[in-house]
Structure 1
Amino acid sequence: MNPLDHILITGLQARAVIGVHAWELHQPRPLLIDVELGVDAKAAAATDRLRDAVDYKAVSDEIVAYAASKEFRLIETLAESLARLLFERHPILSLRLTIGKPGAVPEARGVAIRIDRRREDYAVCGR
């Protein structure tokens, strides 16, 4: 197996209508998202061309737009949906995604979920 290179996007700010309580569903809440994309960057490094790379600006824009486009009850659902979307649209081999929900628990700075997925995790279901 070839070693992976990693693209890191940290502290991405998004907003989503997300929660299980009625008061959470009236307006978008802030989310903090970190994503680590496992890629093979050799071609991009050799050519110095964006077309041979994973466009991290496009990835960031897609994450922010997707989070804002729907309502979610759970951050787990948002995380899994984002993982599928990114594998469908980009030539990534693996993904580590953390979604933080500041203020979800008053006694904590925030609550987060982190998921780790590989491209082959979705091959079974045809995606």
Structure 2
Amino acid sequence: MRDESTDQLAVQGIEAIGHHGVFDFERRDGQVFVVDLVIGIDTRDAARTDDLQHTVDYGNLVAKVKNAIETDPVDLIETLAQRIADVALADQRVRWTEVTVHKPDAPLEATFSDVTLTITRTRPGAPP
């Protein structure tokens, strides 16, 4: 998945209110979800040209991730993580992505600091 021509661009702590969860009150009230996103891209052309068109516009990507959190409620963070991975992989320059979804206010009957799920996905047809 990661090779010498793949660089990593990370945006950590993307925060938005989502209405995801299996319980009615989660869907009704919503809660904070936080996403850490890492993408694998080749940044050499961007570095050489100093031109945003030769790389992934992470401002635009973050807006799409935020929208993915805020819309279309789902039951599972697994589904949300896959949705976010699909958003990242929609840009053909992205070879792989690692998505961590944090659900710090998960409804658990215990003291805890966070619930997270991390997935790694490769764009179909991307070089190894």
Please report the TM-score for the alignment, with normalisation by the length of structure 2: 0.88
| Structure 2 portions without partners, runs of 5+ | none
In 1: Cα distance, 2:49 partner to 2:17 partner = 36
Matches within 5 A, 1:85-124: 85-104=87-106, 105=108, 106-120=110-124
Question: In structure 2, which of residues 19, 22, 37 is the aligned counterpart of residue 35 of structure 1?
Answer: 37
Q: 1:88, CA displacement in angstroms? A: 1.5
Aligned residues: 121
Runs of 4+ that moved beyond 4 A: none
CA RMSD of aligned residues (A): 1.4
Identity of counterpart residues, as a percentage? 26
Matches within 5 A, 1:14-93: 14-93=16-95
- Between Structure 1 and Structure 2, the one with more helix by share is 1
Secondary structure of the residue aligned to 2:8 is: strand
Greater shift in the superposed pair: 102-111 or 27-36: 102-111
- Between Structure 1 and Structure 2, the one with more strand by share is 1
In 1: Cα distance, 2:33 partner to 2:44 partner = 32
Secondary structure of the residue aligned to 1:58 is: helix
Secondary structure of the residue aligned to 1:8 is: strand
Please report the TM-score for the alignment, with normalisation by the length of structure 1: 0.88
